[in-house]
């Protein structure tokens, strides 16, 4: 399977390195690498693999295009990618924009290609998707707890979080946001990919009804914590189905991406094949 990588930051380098070293074991071969800043590539990258203009994906024999750059790539190029290949969306917050959501779904169907969404730190994605398929999913809340220095925020959330970091000694945990994931995606685009994946899996609720909570906790110096709370059907005698999971991922102080996430991403990439047209969590 020929793979094109869009973005050469932490995740892009990790994936390119693994494909160049180990790809053949998994039937993966690099077709191209693109990055906004061309000078970032060192000599380990064969020149013939470097794509200078993303519009030139047309005409290449690439099977899967992997975005690990920015949600803006899906908006600008996602539909074009789907004319030639399957598309692995590393920054699924892009789907919070209803127009991007619709255009990617339409392009996937029209060109009979798959869109793959890595489940990332979202535990139980497939089970939740099954509940959404059966309309038995009634509530989903994803809570992300991190040290304030591990958040990259915009707007009003940034103001509150910056103040927390200046406070000395560290104060108690503060809930920065508690509401629909849709609004949160533009306020914390690099932190809430997990919540975006949740909103895509929970398609009967979507970005408007899946609830995201961001908690800045100064005591969490070495951990990223993700809690998933699910509610389902209620029986006639008033008992409600529920699941709660707590994922604790060791992370270096200040890191936006926890260490387990890189390997989770690689495993998602290995699953991103032969699933047919449509949207797939992997």
Report residue 108: phi and psi, to 5°.
-60, -45
Cα(96)–Cα(108) distance, integer angstroms: 17
Determine, following the binding rule CB under 6 A, whether residue 91 of this chain makes contact with ligand NAD.
yes
Cα(255)–Cα(95) distance, integer angstroms: 24
The pair of structure tokens assigned to 209 is 């009804």
Determine, following the binding rule CB under 6 A, whether residue 90 of this chain makes contact with ligand NAD.
yes
Determine, following the binding rule CB under 6 A, whether residue 278 of this chain makes contact with ligand NAD.
no
Span from 64-72, 134-142, 164-172, 224-232 in contact with ligand NAD (CB under 6 A): 64-72
> Sheet containing 278-281: which strands, arranged edge to edge?
29-34, 2-6, 64-67, 86-89, 114-117, 278-281
Residues in the chain: 282
β-partners of residue 115 are 87, 279
Determine, following the binding rule CB under 6 A, whether residue 52 of this chain makes contact with ligand NAD.
no
Q: Which of 5, 15, 30, 69 binds ligand NAD (CB under 6 A)?
A: 69
Q: Which of residues 189-208 bind ligand NAD (CB under 6 A)?
A: 190, 193-194
Determine, following the binding rule CB under 6 A, whether residue 78 of this chain makes contact with ligand NAD.
no
Q: Which of 51, 251, 261, 282 binds ligand NAD (CB under 6 A)?
A: 261
Shortest separation between residue 12's beta carbon and ligand NAD, angstroms:
6
- Which residues have CB under 8 Å from 30's CB, separation 6+? 2, 3, 4, 5, 16, 19, 20, 23, 49
Q: Which of residues 119-148 bind ligand NAD (CB under 6 A)?
A: 120
Q: Which of 2, 10, 20, 139 binds ligand NAD (CB under 6 A)?
A: 10
- Which residues have CB under 8 Å from 237's CB, separation 6+? none
Determine, following the binding rule CB under 6 A, whether residue 77 of this chain makes contact with ligand NAD.
no
β-partners of residue 215 are 145, 175
Which residue number has the CB closest to ligand NAD? Answer: 9
Which is it for strands 29-34 and 2-6: parallel, antiparallel or unpaired? parallel
Nearer to ligand NAD, 91 or 129 (CB): 91
Shortest separation between residue 94's beta carbon and ligand NAD, angstroms:
9
The footprint of ligand NAD (CB under 6 A) covers 7-12, 35-37, 68-70, 72-73, 90-92, 118, 120, 190, 193-194, 257, 261
């Amino acid at each position: 399977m020929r793979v094109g990588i869009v973005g050469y930051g932490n995740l892009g380098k990790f994936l390119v390195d693994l494909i160049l070293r180990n790809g053949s074991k998994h039937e993966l071969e690099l077709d191209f690498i693109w990055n906004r800043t061309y000078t970032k590539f060192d000599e380990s990258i064969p020149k013939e693999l470097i794509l200078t203009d993303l519009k030139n994906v047309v005409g290449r024999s690439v099977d899967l295009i992997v975005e690990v750059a920015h949600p803006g790539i899906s908006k600008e190029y996602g539909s074009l990618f789907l004319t030639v290949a399957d598309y692995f969306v590393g920054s699924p917050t892009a789907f919070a924009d209803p127009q991007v959501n619709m255009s990617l779904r339409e392009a996937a169907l029209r060109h009979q290609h798959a869109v793959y969404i890595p489940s990332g730190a979202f535990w139980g994605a497939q089970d939740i998707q099954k509940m959404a398929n059966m309309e038995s999913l009634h509530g989903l809340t994803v809570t992300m707890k991190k040290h304030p220095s591990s958040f990259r925020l915009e707007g009003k959330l940034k103001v509150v979080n910056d103040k927390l970091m200046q406070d000395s000694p560290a104060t108690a945990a503060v809930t920065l946001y508690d509401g629909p994931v849709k609004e949160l995606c533009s306020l914390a685009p690099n932190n809430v990919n997990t919540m975006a994946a949740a909103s895509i899996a929970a398609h009967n609720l979507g970005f408007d009804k899946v609830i995201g909570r961001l908690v800045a906790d100064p005591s969490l110096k070495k951990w990223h914590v993700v809690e998933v709370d699910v509610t389902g059907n209620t029986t006639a005698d008033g008992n409600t189905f529920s699941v709660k999971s707590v994922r604790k991922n060791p992370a270096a102080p200040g890191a936006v991406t926890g260490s387990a996430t890189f390997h989770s991403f690689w495993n998602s990439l290995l699953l991103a094949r032969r699933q047919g047209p449509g949207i797939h969590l992997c």
